[in-house]
Amino acid sequence: MKLILKIWRQASPKDEGGFQTYHLDDASQDMTFLELLDALNEKLIVEDQDPVAFEHDCREGICGSCAMMINGRPHGPGEETTTCQLNMKAFRDGDTIIVEPWRARAFPVIKDLVVDRSAFEKIMEAGGFVDVDVSAVPDANTYPVARRDAEEAFDAAECIGCGACVAACKNSSAMLFVAGKVSQYALLPQGQMEGLQRAWNMVAKMDELGFGSCTNTGACEAECPKGVSLAHIARLNRQFLKAGFKKVGEEKN
Amino acid sequence: MSISGIFLILFLIVHLTVNSMIVFDDSGALFNQAAHFMATDPIIGVIEPILAIGLIVHFLFASIITFKNQRKRDVNYAGLGRYKKLDAAAGSNWPSRNMYILGGLILIFLVIHLINFFWKMKFTGDPLLHTPTGLEGDVENAYNLVTTKFIEWKWLVGIYVVGALALGLHLYHGVWSAFQTLGWSNRKWRDIWNVIGLIITILFAGGFAFIPLFVMIQSMV
Amino acid sequence: MALLDSKIPEGPLAEKWKKHKDSLKLVSPANKKKLDIIMVGTGVAGAAAAASLGQMGYNVKVFCYQDSPRRAHSVAAQGGINATKNYRNDNDSDYRLFYDMIKGGDFRAREANVYRAAEVSNNIIDQLTAQGVPFAREYGGTLATRSFGGVQVSRTFYASGQTGQQVLLGSYSALKREIAKGTVTMYERRQMLEIVVKDGKARGIVCRNLVTGEMERYSAHAVVLATGGYGTIYFLSTLAVNSSGAAAYAAYKKGALFANPSFIQIHPSSIPQLNDYQSKLTLMSESLRNDGRVWVPKQKNDKRAPGDIPREERDYYLERRYPAFGNLVPRDIGARAAKERCDAGYGVGETGYAVYLDFEDAIKEQGEKAIRDKYGNLFDLYRKITGENPYKQPMKIYPAGHYTMGGLWVDYNLMTTVPGLFAIGEANFSDHGANRLGASSLMQGSGDGYFILPYTIGDYLADEIKNPRLPIDDPEFEKAEKEARERIDRLMNINGTTTPLAFHKELGKIMWNHGGMTRNEQGLKEGLKMVNEVEERFYKDLKISGSTGSMNQPLEKALRVAASFEISRLMLRDALNREESCGAHFREEYQTEDGEALRNDDEYMYVAAWEYAGDNKEPKLHKEPLNYKYVTVKQRSYK
C-alpha cells in the first residue's frame, strides 16, 4: 500500500512548525497506525533525519498516551478507537493522510505530535480525588452502591485522559474530562462530602488554564475513545449550579 | 445563556400564537384585537422591556462566550480543510457549531422585522394602520399593515422565510442545550429534549415561515 | 550469606507482620519533614506508596517517564484484584490465599512475605472503595467478586475488564491529593539513568529530562524503585512498549542483587501475533476462563471453521488433563498446555499457533447479556483487533510474555541489598515465587505501596535523620552523571545503520525461542551466545538520529534496549543454573511422565540472587534458602 503522509513537524515549543510530506511505499493494511509511524521513523533514523516524535505506551487503548489528529479527527476514523488501535484497514492505497498534534491553547506543542497535557494534571489536583487518608476507612461493604450507579460511575471513570475531547471541541473545552471525574464521585457515597466543592474547583481550574467553555455541541462525546457520555456533563452542571447556590448562601451567612 | 434562551422561547410561543391569528381569520379582526391588546395592556408594557433586556443579555453573553472560546485555539487544523464535511461534523451537528452565526442572522432579521412593523405600530405610525378595522374603539389595523407589506414586497417574504429557518435551527440545538447546561438532562432526557427541540424547530420555523407565505400566496390565488 | 539477610521476623506466621510492625522504628512528624524520599515509577505500587508517604509527612519526589503518572502500565491490568474478604461465604481466609499463592508459585516464594500480602489484601479493597474506585456491585449494592485461575473460591474484585485502570486511578487520585497538598512533588517525563550511592547508601538519582535532554540530579535519604518488570525482553509481550527493566538494572549495577530473573510468566491468553509488523500483544483477561472453554480440534491440522467441528471432535484439553480445576488452571500450566497442543500440530488459525476460547456454552446457559455485562469491553477489544465477533465464534488465543516474578532481591522490609534502596511491586521478587496467580499483581502492588513500605521505610529512615541532604554537587553525583553521559554519548556516536527498534526485535526473537515457555540447556546456551553476538553488533552498528539536547525517543529506546541485553543474559544464566522445572520456569529435561513440571526441592529450593561482578564478568550467585513451616511442600497438582 502506498501512502502520502503529511505530518506536522516542530522541533521545539519555540520553533515554528510546518507540514512535511513523506511517501511510504511499503505500508501494509495489517499495521496499526502507530506501527506505520514506527516504520516511517525506522527509515528516517537510518537516513539520519530526526524521527517523528509521538507519544505511545501501552498500545492497547488504555494508557491514553497516544494522541494525534488524523485527517481532522482525533485518533482518526473509527468509533471509540485510540490511535494505537487504529487499523490501517481504515485507509486505502494512495491515500493522503494529514497528521497533526492536538490544537488547543491549553495544550502547547512540545515537539512534532507531542503536546503538553499537564493542564489535565492541574485540573485533577484541583479536586479530582476523594479527600480520604490512606487507612482508617470503613469496610468496603459498609456503604452499598446501587448496581446502576456503580456502572454509571464506572462509565464516567473510563476516561483515559488522552485529550481527544479538547482536541475535538470547537471551544477547546475540557468539560468531558472534568465531568468524568466529577460524575464518578457524585454517583458514589464516598465522593459526597466535598462533591460540590470539587465541581466548582475543577471547573474554575479548567477556565483558568485556558480551556474554553462548553456549548454542548457533542463533538467530545463522539470522538471520545472510551465513549464517555454527555450525560456526565449534565451531572457536572447540576453539581456546579448547586455549588454556586450553596456558595451564594454561605457568603450571605 | 440557557435561562435567557428559555425566556425568549416563552416569548416566541406568545408571538407565534398572535401571528397565527392572521391565518385563522381573513377579516383580520382577531389579529387586530390581539395586536391591540399587546400594544396597550399594562402588563405587556412591563414585560416588553424585560424581553428587550433578555434579548440583550442573550446576545451579550453569546458574544462574550464566542469570542472567548475562539481564542482557545491558536492554530486550526489543516486536516479539516478536506474532511470538514465528512469527519469533523460526525459527532456534532451543524447548528450546534454555528449558534453564533445563526443568532446573528436572527438578529439581522429582527432589526428588519422591528423596523417594518413594531417601530411603525409603536412609534412612527403608518397610513396603513389607520384604515378601518370594523372593531370598536381606537384599534389600529395591524392586519392591514402586515398583509399589505407581504403582498407588496415579495422579497420581504423571502427574508422572513430565511429568518424563520435560522430561528428554527438555532432552537434545534438551543432547546436541548439549555436544559443540558442547567443540568436537567441525562441519557433518557437527552432524547426527550431532542424530540422537544425538533418539535419546536418545526413549529417555529414552519409557523413563522408559513404566515408570510400564506398571505402572499393567498393574494396571488 | 550475610549479604542475604531476609530479616523475616520470628513467631507464628499469622503474627509475624503484626509483631514486626510493632518493632519497627518510628520517625516523628517533625523529623519526617526533614527526610526526602525519591519514588521512581507511578504504577499502582509507586503512586500508592508516594501518596501514603506524603500523607505521613515525608518530602516525596516522584518520577515517571510518561507525561502523566496515570499512564503507568498498571493501567492495563484487566481481570481483578484479590482479597480474602470472604463476602461470598465460601470459607475463604488469609491462610487460603496465602496457600494458593505459595502453591501457585510452586513453592519458590517466601512464606512470611506471601502471608503478609494476603493479610493486607482486605485493607486494600476498603481503601480503594473509600477512594471512589467503582468496583462491580451486586444488585443489593454489595461488592461483586469472581473466580480466577488456580483458586477454588471467588475472591477477585473487579471493575469490568479494566480493574487495573480503576485501581491505578484510585492511587493516582490519592497521589494528586498529596501533590495538591504540597507533600509530593511530581516530575514527569524523566528517565532515571543512575542511582547515586554514597558511603554504601542510596542517596539520589540522576535522570534525563525527556523534553530538554538535560541531566538532572535529585538527592534524597532513600530511593524507592517501583519500576515494574522486564517482560519486554521478549519484544512482543502484553506490556507497554516502553516498559523495561532498565531502572532495576541500574540498581543491579550499583550492587542490588537481582533475584530469580528466569521466573517470567507467560500468560496463556493473549491475542495471537497476527503479522510481522506487530509491536505488541494484547491480553485477554484470565477472568474469561471463568466462562470460556478452551479447546482444539481432535484431528491434526483441522482447517474447518470452529462452528463446523462437532462437539465430539473437539479436545477440551484443559478439562481433560485437569478435571479438578478445568479451564481455571494457573497461568503457567494453561500456557504450556496450549504450547504442547500447538507444537503437536493441533493448533488453529493461520499459523497453527492458537487455541480456541469458546463462549458458546456460557452464552447458551446465561444469555448474551450476562456475558456482555461481565466481559463486554474485552469482547469489544478482541473484535477491534481481530475483526472477529467473539459472541458468534470462539476467540483465538495464544500465550504471551506478561509478568516477571523475578526482580530485585528485597528483604522483609522491601529493601534491596543496597541500604536505602527499596523495590516494590513488580520490580521486586518477593511474593509470587515461580509463578504469579491471577489478580495478585494489583494486590501486591497496592499492598506494598499503601501498607507495607510506608511502615518499613521508617525503620531505615529513623537512623538517617542525622544525615543532612546530600548536596547535588557531591562527587558521587558528578560521577553518576558522568557515567550516564558517557553511556549516552557512546550510543549516540556509534552512527551505524540499525535502529534500536530493530535490535529489540532481534533480541526478542532470541529470548522467546530460547528462554520462553519451555527451556533446555542447549537452547539456553545458544541463546546466551546469540544475545552476546547481537549486543556486540548493537555497540558497533546502532543508529540514533536527532540530538541529545532535546526530545529524542530513539535514544530513550536505545538506553532501554541496552539494559535489556544485560537482563536477558542474566535471565538465561539463571535459567541454566536452575536445573529443575518449577512454575513458569520449565526445563524440558525435568518433567514428569505426563509432562508436568518436575521440581528438585533438595537442590533448588532457594532464591537465586545474582550479584553484579563487573562488565564482562560472570555474575556471582547467592542463595537464600526457602523454608516451609506452614505448608506441606508437595508436587503441585490441579488434576
ipTM of predicted complex: 0.97
CATH, domain range C478-603:
1.20.58.100
Is C67 close to A38, i.e. CB distance below 8 A?
no
Interface check A209 vs C, CB under 8 A: no
Q: Which residues of C touch A126 (CB under 8 A)?
A: 180
B167's CB contacts (< 8 A; 6+ apart) are B12, B102, B106, B109, B204, B205, B208
3-state secondary structure of C475: helix
Of C128, C277, C384, the CB nearest to A85: C384
C621: enclosing H helix or E strand: strand C620-625
Mean pLDDT is lowest, of A129-138, C65-74, C201-210, C525-534, for A129-138
Which CATH superfamily includes the segment(s) A3-110?
Answer: Beta-grasp domain (3.10.20.30)
Q: Measured between alpha carbons, how far is residue B52 from residues B4, B14, B59 in Å? A: 11, 15, 11
What is the reported pLDDT for B87? 46
Separation CA C115–CA C122 (nearest Å): 13
Separation CA C609–CA B186 (nearest Å): 57
- Smallest CA-to-CA distance from C128 within C21, C44, C18, C42 is with C44
* Count of structural domains, chain B: 1
Considering the domain boundaries, does residue B175 fall inside one?
yes
What is the reported pLDDT for B19? 87
Identity of the residue numbered A250:
E
**Which A residues in the span 76-95 are in contact with C, Cβ-Cβ below 8 Å?**
80-81, 85, 87, 89
Instruction: Give the chain A residue nearest C128 (alpha carbons).
Output: A140
Q: pLDDT tens digits for B54-66? A: 999 999 999 999 9
Of A56, A120, A138, the CB nearest to C241: A56
C-alpha distance from C322 to closest chain A C-alpha (Å) = 32
Greater model confidence, B80 or B204:
B204
B151: enclosing H helix or E strand: helix B142-152
Residue B22: band (very low, low, confident or very high) from pLDDT cuts 50, 70, 90:
confident
Separation CA C334–CA A203 (nearest Å): 49
Q: Which residues of B touch A211 (CB under 8 A)?
A: 72
Residue C374: band (very low, low, confident or very high) from pLDDT cuts 50, 70, 90:
confident
**Which A residues in the span 22-51 are in contact with C, Cβ-Cβ below 8 Å?**
28, 30-32, 34-35, 38-39, 41-42, 44-51
Q: Which residues of A touch B91 (CB under 8 A)?
A: 168, 217-223
10 Å Cβ neighbour count for C392?
A: 10
Q: Which residues of B touch A19 (CB under 8 A)?
A: 78
* B interface test, pick of A5, A96, A170, A232 with most B CB neighbours within 10 Å: A170
Mean pLDDT is lowest, of B37-46, C133-142, C334-343, C458-467, for B37-46
Let me know if C331 is a catalytic residue.
yes
**Which A residues in the span 25-84 are in contact with B, Cβ-Cβ below 8 Å?**
69-73, 77
In this predicted structure, the answer to whether residue C90 has a pLDDT above a threshold of 90 is yes
Q: Which residues of B touch A233 (CB under 8 A)?
A: 180
Mean pLDDT rounded to a whole number for chain B: 87
Interface check C277 vs A, CB under 8 A: yes
Is C67 close to A118, i.e. CB distance below 8 A?
yes
- Whole-model pTM over 0.90: yes
Sign (positive or negative) of CA dihedral C559, A16, A33, A173: positive
C314-315 sheet: strands from edge to edge: C264-270, C395-404, C355-358, C293-297, C314-315
Q: pLDDT tens digits for C383-402? A: 988 889 999 999 999 999 99
C-alpha distance from A140 to closest chain C C-alpha (Å) = 4
Mean pLDDT is lowest, of B40-49, C213-222, C243-252, C398-407, for B40-49
Interface check C371 vs A, CB under 8 A: no
Of A56, A131, A150, the CB nearest to C136: A150
C181's CB contacts (< 8 A; 6+ apart) are C54
Q: pLDDT tens digits for C529-579? A: 999 999 999 999 999 999 999 999 999 999 999 999 999 999 999 999 999
Q: Which residues of B sit within 8 Å Cβ distance of A?
A: 65, 68-69, 71-84, 87-88, 90-93, 96-97, 99, 173, 176-177, 180-187, 189-190
Q: Quick one: average pLDDT of C487-502?
A: 97
Instruction: Give the chain B residue nearest A104 (alpha carbons).
Output: B73
Q: Are A99 and B109 in contact (CB under 8 A)?
A: no
Give residue C129's region: left, alpha or beta (phi > 0; psi -120 to 50): alpha
Q: Quick one: average pLDDT of C591-605?
A: 94
Interface check C66 vs A, CB under 8 A: yes
For B32-48, b/e burial (b = at least 16 CB within 10 A) is: bbbbbebbeeeeeeeeb
Separation CA C607–CA C262 (nearest Å): 11
Is B83 close to A72, i.e. CB distance below 8 A?
yes
Of A176-180, B81-85, B119-123, the range with the highest mean pLDDT is A176-180
CB contacts < 8 A (A, C): 223
Interface check C544 vs A, CB under 8 A: yes
Angle between helices C553-577 and C475-494 (to 10 degrees): 100
Greater model confidence, C415 or C290:
C415
Q: Quick one: average pLDDT of A40-61?
A: 96
Interface check C274 vs A, CB under 8 A: yes
What's the CATH fold of domain A118-252? Fumarate Reductase Iron-sulfur Protein; Chain B, domain 2 (1.10.1060)
Interface check C212 vs A, CB under 8 A: no
Q: Are A45 and A104 in contact (CB under 8 A)?
A: no
Q: Which residues of C touch A44 (CB under 8 A)?
A: 545
10 Å Cβ neighbour count for B136?
A: 7
Sign (positive or negative) of CA dihedral C338, C343, C346, C348: positive
Q: pLDDT tens digits for C109-135? A: 999 999 999 999 999 999 999 999 999
In this predicted structure, the answer to whether residue A253 has a pLDDT above a threshold of 80 is no
Q: Which residues of B touch A71 (CB under 8 A)?
A: 79, 82-83, 87
Identity of the residue numbered C262:
S
Q: Quick one: average pLDDT of B109-137?
A: 83
Sign (positive or negative) of CA dihedral C259, C260, C262, C268: negative
**Which A residues in the span 79-108 are in contact with B, Cβ-Cβ below 8 Å?**
98-100, 103-106
Instruction: Give the chain B residue nearest A168 (alpha carbons).
Output: B88
Compute φ and ψ for B79, nearest 5 degrees: -60, -20
Q: Which residues of C touch A55 (CB under 8 A)?
A: 66-67
Compute φ and ψ for C304, nearest 5 degrees: -65, 155
C119: enclosing H helix or E strand: helix C111-119
Q: Measured between alpha carbons, how far is residue A28 from residues A3, A5, C279, C393 in Å? A: 10, 14, 14, 26
In this predicted structure, the answer to whether residue C412 has a pLDDT above a threshold of 80 is yes
| Domain range annotation of chain A | 3-110, 118-252
Considering the domain boundaries, does residue B17 fall inside one?
yes
Q: Which residues of C touch A79 (CB under 8 A)?
A: none
**Which C residues in the span 68-127 are in contact with A, Cβ-Cβ below 8 Å?**
68, 70-73, 75-76, 85, 87, 123, 125-127
**Which C residues in the span 35-64 are in contact with A, Cβ-Cβ below 8 Å?**
48, 51-52, 55
In this predicted structure, the answer to whether residue B81 has a pLDDT above a threshold of 60 is no
C-alpha distance from C340 to closest chain A C-alpha (Å) = 28
User: Residue A21 class from Cβ within 10 Å (0-12 exposed, 13-18 middle, 19+ buried)?
Assistant: exposed
The CATH classification of domain C270-400, taken from the options 3.90.730.10, 3.90.700.10, 3.30.70.20, 3.40.47.10: 3.90.700.10
How many Cα atoms within 13 Å fall on the side-chain side of residue A141? Answer: 14
Is A106 close to B90, i.e. CB distance below 8 A?
no
- Return the residue matching grid coordinates 479493597: C125
**Which A residues in the span 145-174 are in contact with C, Cβ-Cβ below 8 Å?**
145-147, 150-151, 153-154, 157-158, 160-161
Q: Which domain holds residue B15?
A: 2-71+100-220
Cell of B203: 413549529
- What subunits make at least 3 CB pairs under 8 angstroms with B? A
Residue B183: band (very low, low, confident or very high) from pLDDT cuts 50, 70, 90:
very high
Give residue C150's region: left, alpha or beta (phi > 0; psi -120 to 50): left
Q: Are C137 and A188 in contact (CB under 8 A)?
A: no
- Smallest CA-to-CA distance from C447 within C48, C162, C78, C25 is with C48
Contact A/C (≥3 CB pairs under 8 Å): yes
Compute φ and ψ for A47, nearest 5 degrees: -80, 10
What is the reported pLDDT for C1? 43
Q: In B153-221, which residue ranges form alpha helices assigned H by DSSP?
A: 154-181, 187-220
Is A46 close to C126, i.e. CB distance below 8 A?
no
In this predicted structure, the answer to whether residue B83 has a pLDDT above a threshold of 60 is no
What is the reported pLDDT for B80? 67
Is B96 close to A216, i.e. CB distance below 8 A?
yes
Separation CA C444–CA C446 (nearest Å): 5
Residue B86: band (very low, low, confident or very high) from pLDDT cuts 50, 70, 90:
very low
Q: Exactly one of C71, C116, C217, C331 is catalytic; which is it?
A: C331
Residue B90: band (very low, low, confident or very high) from pLDDT cuts 50, 70, 90:
low
Residue C2: band (very low, low, confident or very high) from pLDDT cuts 50, 70, 90:
low
C-alpha distance from C607 to closest chain A C-alpha (Å) = 31
Contact B/C (≥3 CB pairs under 8 Å): no
For C297-320, b/e burial (b = at least 16 CB within 10 A) is: beeeebeeebeebeeeebbbbbee
C185: enclosing H helix or E strand: strand C184-187
Residue B85: band (very low, low, confident or very high) from pLDDT cuts 50, 70, 90:
very low
Q: Are C175 and C184 in contact (CB under 8 A)?
A: yes
Separation CA A232–CA A182 (nearest Å): 8
What is the reported pLDDT for A252? 67
